[in-house]
Amino acid sequence: MEPLDIRPDLEALKAAYPAVEIAEAATGHFDIRVSLDQYLDVVKFLKDRGFNYPACITAIDWKDRLELVLQLYKLVVGSRQSPLVMVRVDGLPREGAEVPSVTPLYPGLNWHERETYDMYGIRFQGHPDLRRILLPDNWQGGHPLLKDFEDKRPRRPRLVRHRDMIVSG
């Protein structure tokens, strides 16, 4: 059975949204770079074209900006390979970034968006329950996956349990 060809889907996407940049990566997946204002429309378009499995949503800190990355697969019964597209929104500000939530389209991304908010500080507009998921509710130390994050909590002594050496004879 041949791998599923998503090139017609990507050509239709490019025709509908000419500003979108599409590139095939060396690993065989496709990177789709979109502007923030087209992000939700492009994700809706891909969902309508059968990209039915959202694997992950996360971010990358490039020190001067953030990049949002959404991974979508097109799962088809009987196909041995499931093509992957990575929808990328680059150029988000490191502080105060906001993007539309895709949880109305993919409810399974609810916790992924919460994690991205918790770790990078990106707020998802329209998210049904955007609150911390990994850090305590009273966390005031910033966003731990930002490259300039400094843990300012007081250092606690490291507890080390010493074991007796067992010598066999």
Q: What is the CATH number of the domain that holds 34?
A: 3.30.460.80
> What is the extent of the structural domain holding 113?
7-125
Is 31 part of any domain? yes
Is 134 part of any domain? no
Q: What is the pLDDT of residues 36-62, one digit of tens each?
A: 999 999 999 999 999 999 999 999 999
Is 15 part of any domain? yes
Is 149 part of any domain? no
Is 29 part of any domain? yes
Q: Is 140 exposed, middle or buried (0-12, 13-18, 19+ CB in 10 A)?
A: exposed
Is 56 part of any domain? yes
Q: How many domains does one find in the chain?
A: 1
Q: What is the pLDDT of residues 68-88, one digit of tens each?
A: 999 999 988 877 778 899 999
